[in-house]
Structure 1
Amino acid sequence: MLVIKNGTVLDVKNSRYINCDILIEDEKIVKMEKDIQPGENDCVIDATGKIVTPGLVEAHCHLGLIGDSVGAENEDINERSNPVCPELRAIDAIDPMDKVFEEAYQGGVTTAATGPGSGNVVGGQFAAIKTFGKRIDSMVIKAPVAMKCAFGENPKRFYGSTREKPTTRMAIAAILRELLMKTVEYMNKKEKAKNDLNKQPKLDMKFEAMIPVIKKEIPLKAHAHKASDIFTAIRIAKEFDINMTLDHSTGAAEIADELAKEKFDMIVGPSLGHRTKVELAHKSFKTAGILNKAGIKISITTDSPVIPLHHLNICAALAVKEGLDKWEALKAITINPAEILGIDNRVGSLDTNKDADIVIWSGEPLDIMSQVLYTIIDGKVIYKR
C-alpha cells in the first residue's frame, strides 16, 4: 500500500483545500482522512507543505497520433482518402512510446482524450487513455469515448483543394446528415430483422461505428470555431436527438447568451498562440470565463500538439488571468473534462474508490513556477522529480 501523508489536498468538487492523508491500495484510493497510520511495509510519501491534486485531464487532443520529432512517417491524425471515416479507431494508431507521453505525466496530466483530427467531416473514434504505459490496450479508460466530426474551414481546405466534396459548409452539413440518416435506417433494419440473417442488412462498418452515437452511448465531438459553425453543429444534434460536445469554440464568447440556452458542454481552446487562420479571429483566453459565467460547463484544452500537453495547467492559469475564477479553472482541467467524457467515476477528483491518479506539486498548480514532484497513476509512482 501507498500512503500520502500531511498534504494539502485539492477537493475540486467543493472548491477548497483540505488537510488529510490518502491511502492507496490495488490502484484505487481506499481512504482519505487525517492521521492514517501506515503499516510496516507500506510506502510513505511525506507531502508536508505540498499541494496534492487529482491528475489533470485533457478532454481533446491528438496525443500519440503525430510523432514528436518525426514527420509524415508517424503522422496518423487524418485519413486523407475519404471525408467520412467513423470506423477508424484512435487506439489502432496511438504510439505510447512517443516522448510526449512522458512530458505529459511529468507535467501532471494523467488522462487524455485523444483521436483523429479535423480534416474529415467524420474522422473516427476518440479514446480516453492514461498517459503512462507501453501498450495502449492496458492504458484505455474508455474507447470509444466520442465520435469526431468537424465543421468549417478544415474539411473545406482538406478536400476543396482537390475539388472533391466538401468544398462548402453546406456540403459538410449535408454529408454528416446523410451519414446519420443512413445509420438510423441501417439500425432500424437490423433491429427489425433481429436474428434472421436473411433479413439483416449487409454489414457496413461505417454505420456500425455510428450506432453508438444514435443510441446516445457516445457523443459527437464537434470541431467548431466560428459562431455560425457552432450553431450548425447544434442544429444537427437537435435534428437527430444525439449528444454532442462543442470543441474549440473560439468564437463562442459573442454568442454565450444563446449557448447558455442550449446546455451543450464546451471544450475551449487552444487559446495560446497566434491567430493562424480566419476561424481563430476571436481566439482569446477570455472565452473560458465568459462561457463559465453564462452557466456553461467548460473544460480547457491544449489541442496538443498545438500546445504541448504538459502546459495544460498554464492554459488554465492564463484563463484565470483573463477573468475565469480560480476554482472553476481547476475544475476545467480535472473534474469537468472527466464528466464531459463520461469517465468521472474513475478520474477527475480525489475520492475513495476512484483510480489513484494523483499529482503532488511544490506549490499551487496554476502557478507557473510550481513543479510536479510526484505523478502517481493507478497507484504507482511513475514520476519523481
Structure 2
Amino acid sequence: MLLIKDGNVFTMAGNKYSRGSILIDKGKIVKIEETIELDSNKDVEIIDAANCWVLPGLIEAHCHIGIKEERKGFEGDDCNEMSSPITPFLRALDGINPMDSAFYNALSSGITGVMVGPGSSNVVGGQWLFMKTDGRIIDDMVVLEPAAMKVAFGENVKSTYNNKNMMPMTRMAIAAMLREELFEAKKYKESKEASMKENKSFEEDFRKECWLPVLSGSIPLKAHAHRADDILTAIRIAKEFNLKLTIDHCTEGHLVAKEIFGSGYPAIVGPSLVSRNKIETQYADYKTPGLLHKEGIKIAITTDHPVTRIQDLTVCAAFAVKEGLDMEEALRSITINAAEICNVDHRVGSIEVGKDADIAIYDGNPLEIFTKTLFTIINGRIVYKADEMKD
C-alpha cells in the first residue's frame, strides 16, 4: 500500500483538499480524505506531501512519442507511411518503441498517459492508441487500442503527394478520398452485418475491418486540421457519416469557434510553442485555448511531441493561462479533459476512488516555470523520484 498524506490535492473531479491524503492499494485509489488512519500492522509506504501540489498524472492527448524517436533520424522515425495516402490498417502498436528517451522526460514531468499514433502525411494515417508512460513492453503499457483513427486535412497531405505528383494534391481530393474510403467501409459494414444476420459466411477484409470501431462510434476520427476551412471540412464529413471526431491542432479554431461549439466536437489545441513556419499555422496563438473554452468547447492542450518537447506540456498550458485561459481549466486541459477526449476517463485523468493510481506530486503549481516534479506514480508504483528526494 502507498499513502500520500497532507498534500494540496487537486482531484480534478470537482473538489480539492488543502491538506488531503490518498490511499493506494493494488494499483488503484481506494480512499481520499483529509486524514486517513491506518492499521499499524499494515505495510504502508508513506509520501509526506505537505506543501506540495498533488494532481492526477498529466495526459498528453496528441503526440508521436516512441513512434518518432529522438536523436534517431530515419531509423527511428516510423511516424508516416508516405507510400499510399489511405492506410487505415496501420497500427501505432506496431511502431512505438518504449525505449525512446522521451518517455523518461514524460515521467520526470509528471506525464503518466499519452495518446500516440501516426502523423499527418496521409489522408488516413492509421490507428492510434492510449498508453501509460512507464514500461518496456508496449502491450503491457496500453490502456486503449485502437483509440482513434487518424485522418488529415490541408498542407501536410498536399505537400506529400504533390511531391509525388499523385492524388491528392488539393483539398478537394483529400475530402473526396476520405469520403470514398468511408463510403466503402460503410458498405463493408452493412454487408457483414447482413451476412451475420442471415447466418451466411463472410470473408473479412483486413483493410476494412479497422473501420468498424469508427463506424460504430466506439472510437473517433482524429482529425489533423489547422486552418478554419479544414476544420469545417472535418466537421462536415464527420456529420455526413455520423461519426465521432476530435479536432486536433485547431490552430484557427478561434475563427470558427461558434461552429465548432455547434458541432459538439472537442478540440486538442497546439502545438503553439513553435515558429509559424507554415501557411496554415500563421495565426497560431496561445489565446486560442481560452477563446475556445469561453465558447463552451471542451479543450485539451498538446505539445504534438516531438514538434514541441513533451516535457513542455505544462509550459504550453501556462502560456495559455497568460493569454486568458482560466488556471483550473488549464489544469483540466492536461488531466481530466484530455482523458475524456481520449475516452479513458474511466481509468485516468482525475483522483477518484476506483481509478488507476496515476498521480503527479510537485513542489508547487506545475504551471509555474520553477516548479519541480517530486514524484510520478503509475498504477500505484513510484516510477520517478526527484534526485534531491532520493534516499
TM-score, normalization by structure 2: 0.96
Verify: 1:297 aligned to 2:298, yes or no. Answer: yes
SS at match of 2:3: strand
Structure 1 pair 261/336, CA: closer, same or farther in 2 (3 Å)?
Answer: same
Structure 2's unaligned 5+ residue stretches are 387-391
Match of 1:54?
A: 56
Out of 117, 142, 163, the residue aligned to residue 140 of structure 1 is 142
Query: What is the aligned partner in structure 1 of residue 370 from structure 2?
Result: 369
Partner residue, 2:263? 262
Whole-Å separation in 2 of the counterparts to 1:164 and 1:204: 26
Counterparts of 2:200 and 2:143, CA distance in 1: 37
CA RMSD of aligned residues (A): 1.3
| Match 1:113 to one of 103, 108, 115 | 115
> What is the Cα deviation at residue 37 of structure 1?
2.5
What is the deviation of 1:18? 3.6
Check conservation: 1:8, 1:18, Cα contact below 8 A: yes
Indicate which of 94, 97, 102 corresponds to 2:104. 102
Question: 1:8 is aligned with what amino acid?
Answer: N
Q: Which residue of 1 aligns with 2:288?
A: 287
Shift of 1:12: 1.6
Whole-angstrom CA distance in 1 between matches of 2:17 and 2:178:
45
* SS, match of residue 174 in structure 2: helix
| Percent pairwise identity | 49
Instruction: Find the counterpart in structure 1 of residue 389 from structure 2.
Output: none
Structure 2 residue 220 is matched with structure 1 residue 219: yes
Count of paired positions: 384
Which of the numbers 165, 168, 179 marks the counterpart of 1:166?
168
Alignment check: 8 A CA contact 1:83 1:120 kept: yes
Larger mean Cα displacement after TM superposition, 263-272 or 187-196: 187-196
* Cα separation, 2, equivalents of 1:345 and 1:189: 33
Cα shift at 1:19: 2.1
Output the TM-score relative to the length of structure 1: 0.97
**Paired amino acid for 2:332:** K
Amino acid at match of 2:74: A
The DSSP-based 3-state class of the residue aligned with 2:211 is: helix
Matched residue SS, 2:347: coil
Determine the C-alpha separation between the residues in 2 that align with 1:312 and 1:253: 21
1:349-370 superposed Cα distances (whole Å, 9 cap, x missing partner) = 0001000001110001111110
Distance between the aligned counterparts of 2:259 and 2:124, measured in 1? 26
2:68 corresponds to which residue? 66
Do residues 29 (structure 1) and 29 (structure 2) align?
A: yes
Query: What corresponds to 2:155 in structure 1?
Result: 153
In 1, distance between residues paired with 2:196 and 2:68? 41
Aligned to 1:123: 125
Paired amino acid for 2:274 = G
Contact 1:11 1:18 in 2 (8 A): no
**Compared with structure 1, are the counterparts of its residues 364 and 156 closer, same or farther at alpha carbon in structure 2 (3 Å cutoff)?**
same
1:231 aligns with 2:225: no
Letter in 1 for 2:351: L
What one-letter code is carried by the residue in structure 2 that aligns with 1:218? I
- What is aligned with 2:314? 313
* 1:115-173, Cα deviation, whole Å (9 max, x unpaired): 00000000011100000001000100100110000001111111111111100001100
**Aligned match of 1:358:** 359
| 5+ long unaligned stretches in structure 1 | none
Name the residue aligned to 1:87. 89
Q: What is the SS of the residue equivalent to 1:364?
A: coil
1:180 paired residue number: 182
Is 1:383 the counterpart of 2:384? The answer is: yes
Matched, 1:207 2:208: yes
| Distance of 2:130 and 2:235 partners within structure 1 | 24
User: How much has 1:263 moved relative to structure 2?
Assistant: 1.4
Listed one character per residue, the Cα deviations across residues 43-102 of structure 1 (whole Å, up to 9, x for unaligned) are 111111111110001111111001211110111000122111111110111100110001
